[in-house]
Amino acid sequence: MSPQQAVAAVVVLAAGQGTRMRSATPKVLHEVGGRSMLGHVLAATAPLGAGETLVVVGAGREAVAGHLAAVAPGARPVVQDEQRGSGHAAAVALAAVPDLGGPVLVVNGDAPLLRERTVTDLVEAHRAAGAALTVLTARVADPTGLGRIVRDGTGAVTGIVEERDATPEQRAITEVNAGVYLGDAAALRGALARIGQDNDQGEVYLTDAVGLLVGDGETVAGTPAEDPDDVLGCNDRVELAARRRTLNDRVLDDLMRAGVTVVDPATTWVDVTATVAADALLEPGVQLRGTTSVATGAVVGPDTTLVDTTVGEGASVVRSHVLGSSIGPGASVGPFSYLRPGSDLGPGSKVGAFVETKNARVGEGSKVPHLSYVGDATIGRGANVGAATVFVNYDGVAKHHTTIGDHVRIGSDTMLVAPVTVGDGAYTAAGSVITHDVPPGAMGVARAAQRNVAGWVRRRRPGSAAARAAEAATGPGSGAEGDDAGGQGPSDTTTSRGS
């Protein structure tokens, strides 16, 4: 242990079944505010800079170890084969580092609200007390289900008793065990080795180390957490929702104090990993997830989900779902659009209503205003993509790219069959199916010419409202409802010229 290190090791107890979650997913992997519960505990304890971080795994060990490798590669999983209780779990962890001495932080893995500050306060209290073991406690209104801190007449901690083993008097105690302990490695090893299973659950309770060390004449301190919310565990889905709510409230309070307008905190959910700048505005029904960042002056919502997405200064995103994308400064999205990974909207660009994009760059000031699919595309600057355009990127086997130059005008209902390029300043005619490149400045037309079959309605739909309207417009039997322009109109060979 180096002098800067407050603790020699952090031991996270994460092997329990989590039976009350009724889940195929190990309890500590359930997500709260963008991190697993285990991830929160590791984030709160990482700043201690412990030389060793040991995570006791058991139930769902492959999943937990796999998650650890992804989020905390420096942490080491230690397998507890049989879940014989929290004391046994701590003993298994210490057995994995037989030569380790000095202060060890032992913490339950199901404490998603734990914060760095609370942990460092415990370290300070432990130092100040010169104790063999210091227990973090919490004074709570409702202690149901938690271990009670038993103190003697002088206020010294004498033991922890689990609720199911407590006397009625002990149950009335409202100072509870937070499940965070800081103890000297040697003292802990000695006590853990002596803990029995003489309790209602027949488990090896870590909490019994307190009474044993007190019996040895060691000093055991108990220090209450400043914010009792910090140490709330999570044993079922009702508690999971409550912890999520508390964490979200904390995140939103921090954002609001830092200058973000949150119109409706009750329906706004922001992961701990997301960032929002001052003077951004979050409308009701917004979720900001993962690594999302929102710049100043941006307006998000209402009813918008952003995952791993960057929103630039002054941009707006309304009623949309956005994944892994970048929305440039001053750009606008929605309402009702779906931006899939790799969408990159340049400054001042627009992706309007009912548009889906994927792996698509929309250049500065370019617009895709209505009802389009833009997949695997590069669009230059100042271009306009007409309503109902489809970037036809998939041939059934492979995806292909479409390139649209600067200041291009794509006519409404154009099918751009990739791979294809429309050069700078070119146009496409509405309704075209573009299968060949359009050179710069050209007009690409790829559609059937129109022909009108004169008098068709009078002859083929006699007596209909349409026929009466046509007659009123052109006079009875004039046959002047329009010229037959030739080409491939509706088949009516008896009346159309030129066929």
* Positions marked active-site: 370
Residues in the chain: 499
What does the alpha-carbon distance between residue 299 and residue 321 come to, in Å, rounded to a whole number?
Answer: 14
Which is nearer to ligand UD1, 222 or 330 (by Cβ)? Answer: 222
Region of residue 365 (phi > 0: left; psi between -120 and 50: alpha; otherwise: beta): left
Figure out which of the listed residues 44, 64, 89, 157 binds ligand UD1, where binding follows CB under 6 A.
89
Q: Is 206 in the site for ligand UD1 (CB under 6 A)?
A: yes
With CB cut-offs between 5 and 8 Å by kind, which of Ca ion, ligand UD1, none does residue 147 bind? ligand UD1
Judged by CB under 6 A, does residue 146 bind ligand UD1? yes
> Which of 53, 86, 273, 304 contacts ligand UD1 by CB under 6 A?
86
Which of 23, 46, 71, 84 forms a contact with ligand UD1 (CB under 6 A)?
84
Structure tokens at 110: 């199901």
223 binds ligand UD1 (CB under 6 A): no
**387 is known to lie in a ligand binding site:** yes
Q: Is 230 in the site for ligand UD1 (CB under 6 A)?
A: no
Work out how close the CB of 235 gets to Ca ion at its nearest, in angstroms, rounded to a whole number. Answer: 5
DSSP 171: H
The answer to the question of whether 108 is labelled as a binding residue is no
Euclidean distance between CA atoms 172 and 136, whole angstroms:
19
Under the criterion CB under 6 A, does residue 113 sit at the interface with ligand UD1?
A: no
Cis bond before residue 3 (omega within 30° of 0): no
Cβ 375 vs Cβ 392: under 8 Å: no
Sites of contact with Ca ion (CB under 5 A): 110, 233
Specify the residue, 80 or 349, whose C-beta has the smaller distance to ligand UD1: 80
- Residue number with CB closer to ligand UD1 (58 or 314): 58
89 interface partner picked from Ca ion, ligand UD1, none, CB below 5 to 8 A per type: ligand UD1
- Residue pair 220/210 in contact (Cβ under 8 Å)? The answer is yes
Do residues 79 and 45 make contact, with C-beta atoms less than 8 angstroms apart?
no
Stretch that binds ligand UD1, among 8-16, 249-257, 421-429, 459-467 (CB under 6 A): 8-16
Give 140's contacts (C-beta < 8 A, 6+ positions apart): 146, 174, 176, 228
Residue among 60 and 330 whose Cβ is closer to ligand UD1:
60
Residue 16, marked binder: yes
Query: DSSP assignment, residue 196?
Result: -
176 binds ligand UD1 (CB under 6 A): yes
Cβ-based neighbours of 29, under 8 Å, separated by 6 or more: 36, 37, 38, 60, 63, 64, 67
Q: How far is the CB of 194 from ligand UD1 (least distance, A)?
A: 15
The answer to whether 15 contacts ligand UD1 (rule: CB under 6 A) is: yes
| Burial category of 63 from C-beta neighbours within 10 Å (exposed 0-12, middle 13-18, buried 19 and up) | middle
Q: β-pairing, 148-151 with 157-161?
A: antiparallel
- Which residue, among 271, 305, 236, 288, has the nearest Cα to 33 in the 3D structure? 271
Indicate whether 147 belongs to the interface with ligand UD1 (CB under 6 A): yes
Q: Report, in Å, the least distance between residue 97 CB and ligand UD1.
A: 16
Are 116 and 44 spatial neighbours (Cβ–Cβ below 8 Å)? Answer: yes
Annotated binding-site residues for Mg(2+) read: 110, 235
Residues that bind ligand UD1 (CB under 6 A): 13-16, 56, 58, 80, 83-86, 88-89, 108-110, 146-147, 160, 162, 176-177, 179, 205-207, 233, 235
